[in-house]
Structure 1
Amino acid sequence: MPKLTPRKHQLTDHDFLKLSKTESNPRARIKLLMLHQLSLSHSLDSIAQTFGYHQQSISVIRKHYWLYGLDSIYDKPGRGRKSLLAEKDIEAFKQAIVEQQQQRGGGRLTAVDIARIAKEDFNTDYTPKGIYGLLSRIGISWVSARSRHPKADQQAMDDFKNFVNHVRTVLPEHIELSDVDIWFQDETRIGQQGSITRVWHYCGQRPRVVRQQQFESAYLFGAFCPSNGNSVGLVLPYVNKQAMQLHMQHISKEVPEGRHAVVVMDGALWHQADLNLHNVTMLKLPPYSPELNPSEQIWQYLKQHDLSNRCFDGYDAIVDAACVAWNRLRVQLELIRSITSRAWSIVC
């Protein structure tokens, strides 16, 4: 007579399908989907064919659920192949990779180079293919570097992140921090010599995109409030002091009654508008520090999603495209908040 498994938990105790939609662990999510089909009385054979598992494995998953409930869908610590790199050496290994990259003076490290570091400095043998899995597990990514101006002052940029003090120095005396909204302002050029970005295409082929050689362009002025996702934009033919004055006036109109806007911007020559606005104050970034202005990421998003890989007949076509792209962006309040929010820029 077969031995019966005690059932402390029933397949009807949970909505496994609903749980699977919010489960971030891929192995646990598959088990939840299997349990969902088991709860619908699907056969082990049909579930095995659906998920590519052996029937015995699905039977074990069901048995473990009966015994241990939802805790059973997660792998126990220590499961799986152990890393050749000792846990105590992980941080030193990561540091060695970064230092080797910096010491090259150009180019980039390859998987073969990193495998050599692992062998020579940590006495572990990895194939170049195995290195990629190791780097993913320990939190090392191959990311695009961004340029840094040789005159950039890292200490000044770090000091700027003591943001509340900088805001206090520019605020009128009668304004309280609790009444302040932070805005980030910048402008970008949109024109016939636009940018080319990645596109979906067939593997092994590189698509060709026409890039214009003419010089017609317009400028998109934008300001973004991370606290509520609001934005103010203008498309103008020039960047100058008058254009900046006009943009600041539009920002002023968007500031709610009883609030005061501190508008953070770089030190461009045209960022010298003669402000006579009761509810707007300018705050300048340290020199050569565009990474402190999240508007840069907004422009990157806007161009990648709407304005790259395009040809324009002339100025009117550029203005129309910029307006369409801006109007599509400005209604996505959560997206703007997500891109522009910085922990250091919160003042209250």
Structure 2
Amino acid sequence: MHIENYDQLDRLREAARGYRNTRTGPRVQAIILAKQGDTAPQIARALGFSRRAVQAWVAAYNRGGLDSLPDRPHLGRAPTLAHDQEDRFRERIEASPRPEDGVCELRSADIRRILEQEFAARYTLSGVYKLLHWLGYSDLMPRPQHPETHPEAQEFFKEIVVEQIAAIAAQHPDREVQVWHHDEARFGQKGTLT
């Protein structure tokens, strides 16, 4: 395997020590082994990488020396939402949904529609998730609460109905007690926290 003579082995070993905890360290090790006369398959086995990866690292080193081994930043496509619109977008999604949104909590499809209609920015659903993550938002959200929720009925259910279910289960120890409930939107769904 041909390798350009940019650096002496001592300088490469010193550089490898500096890159010990990064992705560049194994690349420098591959160059050292190649300078010592090892083949690409031998280097790949020794370092636990593919032969093609080793060959790519050697080719990069041959083109530009040690400076060509570290990862270049993956810039990707520029964000569609302008930087001056970010604060307005944050305020919009952190506020409660508006009546014209027609929902009680904003989902990614709703945020996508808001981006397109109010900010003239087109995103795919996966792009919406990436944008939210980039802005510091998490995918996990508290369970949505309907605007017409009745806290008193919820407390009644927690205190009284749970006791009744336990009493029924005690009367029938050999049977499995299943609790089914429904609301206006989800008929017949089992009582799980989904």
Select the structure of larger CA radius of gyration.
2
TM-score normalised by length of structure 1: 0.30
Higher strand proportion (structure 1 or 2): 1
Structure showing greater relative contact order (alpha-carbon pairs closer than 8 Å, 6 or more residues apart): 1
